[in-house]
Structures are given as C-alpha cells and as structure tokens.
Amino acid sequence: MTDWTPQTARAKDWFESLRDQICAAFEAIEREAGSDAAFEYTPWNREEDGNENPGGGVRGVMKGKVFEKVGVNVSTVHGAFAPGFAATIHGADEDNPGFTATGISLVAHMANPHVPAVHMNTRFLTTGKAWFGGGADLNPPIPYEEDTAEFHAAFRAACAGHNPTYYDRFKKWADEYFFIPHRGVHRGVGGIFYDHLECADEAAWERNFAFTQDVGKAFLDVFPKLVRRRMASEFTPEDKLRQLEWRGRYAEFNLVYDRGTLFGLKTGGNIDAILMSLPPEAVWS
C-alpha cells in the first residue's frame, strides 16, 4: 500500500468539491432567512510518531439562524492502526495495520424543531483491501411522512442507477445500525448505510466511486428542499423541549455506538472535528 494512491487523490478531490457545494447551499438558505452566517474553516494536522505524512483535514462549522449548528468535515489521513484496533477494521490485522482514509462527514442540527436534523458521510479506505462506505439518515424531532418519503426516494433513485438490490439492502443496514439498544428506539427515520464496497480492480473502483458520488449528489439535492419546507414553521416551547430531549438520544448514539466516532478517536483525529456531531444544546429528563 502506498501512502497516497491516485484513487485516494481523486476521492479526496470529490469530497472537497461536495463540501464546497453543500456549504454554499446551506449559506444560501441562511441568506434567505436574513442571516449572514457563514462557515468557519479550521485546518488541522494529524500527528503520529515515525510518520512523516500522516495527513489531516479541515473542520467547517456554521452557526446561523436556520442551522443552529452544522459541521462539514473533510479529512485525508494515513498511518497505522493501534495494536488491537487493527483487527476490528476490514482488511487490516496486526501484521498489516497500515491504512489510508479520506472522507466527508456532515451533521446538521437545526434551530426550528420542525426542520429535521441530518447526518451524511462518505469515505474511501485502503488497508489490505480498498473499499467505499457511507450513507445518510434523517433525524427529525417531529417527523413528517412527506419529508421521510422524499428523503428515501432520493436515495432509492441514487441506488437504482447502480444496482437494483442496493436500496433495500442499504436501507435495512441503516435501520439496524442507527438504533439505540439501551433505549430500544431508532435514532431517526432512517436512510441508507453501506460499507465495504470493495474495489478489487479499477473497474470496481470506478463503479463504487460513481455510486458514492451519486449518494452525495442525492443528499445535496434533497436536504435543502426539506429545510426550506419547514424552516419558517411556527413552534411551541413544547416542540423545542421535544427537540432537546431527542438531541440527547442523538448524543447517546454517537458517543456510545457510532463507529465513525470510534475510528476518529482511535486514529488520532482532531477531537473537535470528531465531536462536531454533538448538538449545541440538549436535555435529559
């Protein structure tokens, strides 16, 4: 495995382009709401003993009138997994702990409880194998069937363009993954989740890269529509309390069960970037 493959560079370029498009779309919504909020970007460098090229990333955060807190992070890192952790990663083991990873991760917590929160990430990893993973899920404190249906339809269409089995498989995976066992509830209304789309040859890499791009495009198309639909809705103190309690469940999942959080912490990622998924305010009753 080389430090930076041409495939890693192409994936990195796409994730950065997608970030720029998403951030521009979110800032445009803030302008429509009469806010001048904008993303603030903070670069960070990863450190690893004996590694001259460990990589790093850029953390982007905006706090506005519509988006109470939204983080959009891109990172590209290279190194070796810690002993014990390598065995938990696809294609890695104690004898082959090296990895290269690049990806985009997004979480948006909204000011209005009628607007759904959302999570999206896509990534490309190289260990002893190379593969893509990612997905998106909608997390409304106050669900609307119309919003849920439109969100799922966008990802169903993205999947259908590549494999007729993808949507059912990846929706089921999301339903199983985004579940809080100690609460016995799902984190939201689902979406898709996929992992280990292996790239055994160049043709497979191109197919999986194209699918991953379409996942990002589907998110960029559908989520701003849902925000605009609900962002001017009136809400009550009871609605806000419902949102804050729901955010507590979201925080529990991300701190206890989320694999991405664990991966970032175990690979020397930027702590603020890793924990940007946590809401700005939450309550526990």
pLDDT per residue as tens digits for the range 68-124: 999 999 999 987 776 766 566 666 555 566 788 899 999 999 999 999 999 999 999
Query: When comparing pLDDT for 197 and 272, which is higher?
Result: 197
Task: Kindly report the average pLDDT of the chain as a whole number.
Answer: 91
pLDDT reported for residue 89? 67
Give me 128's structure tokens.
Answer: 């002893």
Least confident of 13-17, 52-56, 143-147, 159-163: 52-56
pLDDT reported for residue 26? 98
Query: Hey, what CATH topology would domain 6-277 get?
Result: oxygen-dependent coproporphyrinogen oxidase (3.40.1500)
Of residues 203, 205, 196, 182, the one with CA closest to residue 257: 182
pLDDT reported for residue 274? 81
Helix%, strand%, coil% for the chain, nearest 5: 45, 25, 30
The span from the CA of 249 to the CA of 185, in Å, is 9
The reply to whether the predicted model has a pTM over 0.85 is yes
pLDDT reported for residue 2? 40
At 161, is the pLDDT very low, low, confident or very high (cuts 50, 70, 90)? very high
Which amino acid is it at 123?
R
pLDDT reported for residue 46? 82
The span from the CA of 115 to the CA of 169, in Å, is 27
Mean pLDDT over 211-220 rounds to 98
Whether 90 contacts 131, CB under 8 Å: yes
Catalytic residues, by residue number, are: 119
Least confident of 55-64, 166-175, 253-262: 253-262
Q: Give percent above pLDDT 70 in the chain.
A: 93
pLDDT reported for residue 36? 98
pLDDT reported for residue 3? 47
Q: What is the DSSP string of 43-94?
A: EEE---TT-S--EEEEEEEE--SSEEEEEEEEEEEEEEPPTTTGGGSTT-BT
Mean pLDDT over 224-244 rounds to 98
pLDDT reported for residue 127? 82
- List, edge to edge, every strand of the sheet that includes 67-80: 40-45, 55-62, 67-80, 98-110, 117-126, 130-139, 190-198
Give me 262's structure tokens.
Answer: 């664990």
Give me 225's structure tokens.
Answer: 């529509």
pLDDT reported for residue 147? 98
pLDDT reported for residue 166? 98
pLDDT reported for residue 97? 60
Whether 73 contacts 105, CB under 8 Å: yes
The span from the CA of 261 to the CA of 271, in Å, is 10
Cβ partners under 8 Å of residue 34, min gap 6: 65
